Amino acid sequence: MSAEQSSGGLTEYIVHHLTHNTAEVAGYTFHVDSWVIALALGLLACFLLWTQARKATAGVPSKPQAFVEMVVEFVDSQVKDTFHGDRRFIAPLALTIFVWVAFMNAMDLLPLDLPGRLVAWVAGEEVAHHTYLRVVPTADINTTFGMSITVFLLIIFYSIKAKGGWGFTKELFTAPFHAHNPIARLVLAPANLFLNVVEYLSKPVSLGMRLFGNMYAGELLFMLIAGLFASWITFLPGVIFNSVWAIFHILIILLQAFIFMVLTVVYLAMAHEHH
C-alpha cells in the first residue's frame, strides 16, 4: 500500500468514526447517538445508586455499598467546603454531575471498532459501513454545551434567589467598579454591564469547551492509534499503545468529571453569595 493510499484509508477511517448518527428534527440536525447514550447512561447511573441505597445496611457494608458511600462522602465534602448555603439541592446535583459525566467519559474506553463489529455481525458489512455511531457523548460539543447551559441557568436562578431581581439587576450595573457619585455610577454602568455579561457568558463556554476538548482529543488519539496500527504486522504495538493510553486516559476521565462538578459548585456558590 502506498503512503497516499494509507493516508487516505486512515482519513476515511477517522471520518467514519467521527460522524454522528443524525436525524432531522424541526429542520435541525439532531445527534441521536449522543442523546440516546447520554440518557441511557444517566438512567443506568441513577439505577445503580438507587439499588445500593435500597440495600444499604447499618452493619458492615458490601463492597459496592462501601464504594458508593465513599463517592457520596467525597462529593459531599467537596460541596461542604465550597457551598456555604443550603446543600439539599447542590449536593445531589454535584453527585449526579460527577457520576453521569464519569460514565459518559468512560465510554471512551470501549474498543473503538466494537459497535461496528456488532452491527456487521447482526446486519452485515454493508450495513455496518453505512452505520454511524459515536459512543462518547461528552466528545460531542452539543452534549457539553447542553450541560453547561443548564448550569448557567442555575447560576442566574441562584443569583436572583440570593439577591432578588432588583439586587441582581443593580449588581450588573454597579459592580465591579463602584462609585458613590450618581454621575460616576451612570458613566461606569455600561462598562460594568459589559464586564458582567462577559463574566457570566464565559462560565458556560469554558465549562463546555474544557470537557469537550479533552474528550474529543482523547477519542481522536484512540482513532489515530487504531488506524496507524491496523495491520497484522503492527497489531501488537497497537495493542500496547492503546493499553498505555487507556490507562492514562482513566485519570483524564475521572479528572474531567471532577473538574466539571467542582466548577459547577464554585459557580453556584459565587452566585449564591451576596455581593
Cell of 43: 438512567
Residue 148 · residue 207 · CB < 8 Å? yes
Domain ranges, residue 41: 3-272
3 band by pLDDT with thresholds 50, 70 and 90: very low
pLDDT tens-digit readout, 27-50: 888 999 999 999 999 999 999 999
Active site residue 243: no
From the candidates 105, 148, 192, 214, give the one annotated as an active-site residue.
Answer: 214
Averaged pLDDT for residues 42-63:
87
pLDDT in tens, 80-129: 999 988 888 999 999 999 999 999 999 988 887 788 888 888 877 777 77
Catalytic residue, candidates 77, 206, 231, 243: 206
Residue 231: pLDDT band (50, 70, 90) is low
Domain tally for the chain?
A: 1
Across-strand partners of 23? 30
- Lookup result for grid cell 448550569: 151
- The cell for 87 is 446543600
Catalytic residue check, 210: yes
Annotated catalytic residue 148: no
